[in-house]
C-alpha cells in the first residue's frame, strides 16, 4: 500500500493591471512574495503601443510595490 500525504502551501501574491477606459487591459502583472518572482504579460499589444509610457510606469510602480512588500515581510 502506497503512503499518502497531503501538502498545503501558503503563498502571498500581488496582482496588478494597466487599464485604460472600461475593461481595456494593456498589461497584467503578477508577483509571488515568497520567492520574489515577478512576471508581466502584455495582453493587448496595440493598446500597449498607444500607451507605452504609462504602461511602463505602471509596471515600474508595481515592481516597486512588490519590493516594498517583500522588505516588510
pLDDT category at 56 given cuts 50, 70, 90 is: very high
Quote the pTM value.
0.83
Residues in contact with 49: Cβ distance below 8 Å, sequence separation at least 6, in sequence order: none
Given this model, what pLDDT does residue 14 score?
A: 95
Whether the predicted pLDDT of 73 surpasses 80? no
Calpha distance 29→25 (Å, rounded) = 11
Calpha distance 40→28 (Å, rounded) = 6
Residue 31 CB: number of other CB atoms within 10 A?
23
Task: Read off the DSSP letter of residue 34.
Answer: T
Query: Among 15, 16, 18, 22, which residue's Cα sits nearest to residue 45?
Result: 18
Whether the predicted pLDDT of 9 surpasses 90? no
Given this model, what pLDDT does residue 11 score?
A: 84
pLDDT category at 10 given cuts 50, 70, 90 is: confident
Amino acid at each position: 500500500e502506497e503512503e499518502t500525504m497531503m501538502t498545503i502551501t501558503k503563498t502571498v501574491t500581488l496582482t496588478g493591471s494597466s487599464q485604460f477606459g472600461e475593461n481595456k487591459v494593456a498589461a497584467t502583472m503578477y508577483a509571488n512574495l515568497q520567492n520574489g518572482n515577478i512576471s508581466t504579460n502584455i495582453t493587448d499589444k496595440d493598446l500597449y503601443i498607444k500607451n507605452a509610457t504609462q504602461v511602463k510606469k505602471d509596471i515600474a510602480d508595481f515592481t516597486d510595490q512588490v519590493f516594498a512588500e517583500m522588505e516588510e515581510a
